[in-house]
Amino acid sequence: MPPRTSLTTRWDMWRYAPVMPLHDGETPVSLGEGLTPMLELPKLAREIGVARLWVKDEGLNPTASFKARGMSAAVTRARGLGVPGLVVPTAGNAGAALTAYGAAAGMPVRVYAPESTPKPILETIRTLGADLQLVAGHIGDAGKAARAFSNESGYFDVSTLREPYRIEGKKTMGLELAEQLGWRLPTHIIYPTGGGTGLIGMWKVFGELRDGGWLPKDVAMPHMVVAQAEGCAPIVRAFAAGQEKATPWENPTTHASGLRVPGPLGDRLILRALRESNGAAHAVSEDAIRAATLRLSRSSGADAAPEGGCALAVAEQLAAAGRIPKSAEVLVFNTGSGASYRF
Ligand SMILES: Cc1ncc(COP(=O)(O)O)c(C=O)c1O
For the chain, how many structural domains are there in total? 2
pLDDT, residue 161, reads 80
- Residue 343 above 90 pLDDT? no
**139, 157, 175 - which closes a domain:** 157
Model confidence pLDDT, tens digit, residues 160-191? 888 899 999 999 999 999 999 999 999 999 99
Q: How far away, in angstroms, is 259 Cα from ligand 1 center? A: 6
Rounded to the nearest 10°, the torsion over CA 164, 168, 173, 176 is 170
Model confidence pLDDT, tens digit, residues 308-333? 999 999 999 999 999 999 999 999 99
Closest CA to 191 of 98, 89, 282, 298: 282
- Mean pLDDT to the nearest integer, 283-288: 98
197 and 324 belong to one structural domain: yes
- Residue 136 above 90 pLDDT? yes
How many residues would you count in the chain?
343
At 115, the pLDDT band (50, 70, 90 cuts) reads: very high
73 and 36 belong to one structural domain: no
pLDDT, residue 318, reads 98
83 and 220 belong to one structural domain: no
56 and 44 belong to one structural domain: yes
283 and 312 belong to one structural domain: yes
DSSP 277: T
**103, 128, 157 - which closes a domain:** 157
The reply to whether ligand 1 has any atom less than 6 angstroms from the CB of 305 is yes
Among the atoms of ligand 1, which is closest to the Cα of residue 90?
Answer: 14
Model confidence pLDDT, tens digit, residues 199-236? 999 999 999 999 999 999 999 999 999 999 999 999 99
3-class DSSP state for residue 14?
A: helix
Closest-CA residue, ligand 1 atom 16, reads 258
Q: How far away, in angstroms, is 197 Cα from ligand 1 center? A: 8
The CATH number linked to 79 is 3.40.50.1100
- Residue 92 above 90 pLDDT? yes
258 and 178 belong to one structural domain: yes
Model confidence pLDDT, tens digit, residues 54-88? 999 999 999 999 999 999 999 999 999 999 999 99
Q: Which domain holds residue 140?
A: 67-157
Q: How far away, in angstroms, is 229 Cα from ligand 1 center? A: 12
- Mean pLDDT to the nearest integer, 296-308: 98
Closest-CA residue, ligand 1 atom 4, reads 258
pLDDT, residue 160, reads 82
Closest CA to 261 of 246, 272, 271, 275: 246
95 and 235 belong to one structural domain: no
**157, 188, 211 - which closes a domain:** 157
Closest-CA residue, ligand 1 atom 5, reads 258
| Contact between 197 and 266 (Cβ < 8 Å) | yes
How do the residues of the chain divide into helix, strand and coil, expressed in percent and rounded to 5? 45, 15, 40
177 and 211 belong to one structural domain: yes
276 and 331 belong to one structural domain: yes
The reply to whether ligand 1 has any atom less than 6 angstroms from the CB of 93 is yes
Closest-CA residue, ligand 1 atom 15, reads 258
Instruction: Please state, in angstroms and rounded to a whole number, the distance separating the CA atoms of residues 159 and 89.
Output: 6
Instruction: Please state, in angstroms and rounded to a whole number, the distance separating the CA atoms of residues 219 and 211.
Output: 10
Q: How far away, in angstroms, is 54 Cα from ligand 1 center? A: 19
pLDDT, residue 17, reads 95
- Residue 245 above 90 pLDDT? yes
CB count, 10 Å around CB of 155? 21
Among the atoms of ligand 1, which is closest to the Cα of residue 196?
Answer: 11
The reply to whether ligand 1 has any atom less than 6 angstroms from the CB of 159 is no
39 and 82 belong to one structural domain: no
The reply to whether ligand 1 has any atom less than 6 angstroms from the CB of 114 is no
**Residue of 112, 228, 259 with the most ligand 1 atoms within 8 Å of its CB, for mutation:** 259
pLDDT, residue 80, reads 94
The reply to whether ligand 1 has any atom less than 6 angstroms from the CB of 71 is no
333 and 223 belong to one structural domain: yes
Q: What percent of the chain has pLDDT over 70?
A: 100
pLDDT, residue 64, reads 98
Instruction: Please state, in angstroms and rounded to a whole number, the distance separating the CA atoms of residues 3 and 275.
Output: 29
Closest-CA residue, ligand 1 atom 12, reads 258
Rounded to the nearest 10°, the torsion over CA 120, 123, 127, 129 is 120
**Residue of 61, 67, 173, 236 with the most ligand 1 atoms within 8 Å of its CB, for mutation:** 67
pLDDT, residue 224, reads 98
CB count, 10 Å around CB of 342? 10
Ordered alpha helix ranges (H), the chain: 42-48, 67-81, 93-105, 119-127, 139-153, 165-180, 197-211, 234-240, 267-276, 286-300, 306-320
Rounded to the nearest 10°, the torsion over CA 277, 45, 320, 230 is -70
Contacts of residue 67, defined as CB under 8 A and 6 or more positions apart, other chains included, come to 61, 93, 94, 96, 97, 98
pLDDT, residue 162, reads 84
| Contact between 310 and 192 (Cβ < 8 Å) | yes
- Residue 285 above 90 pLDDT? yes
171 and 104 belong to one structural domain: no
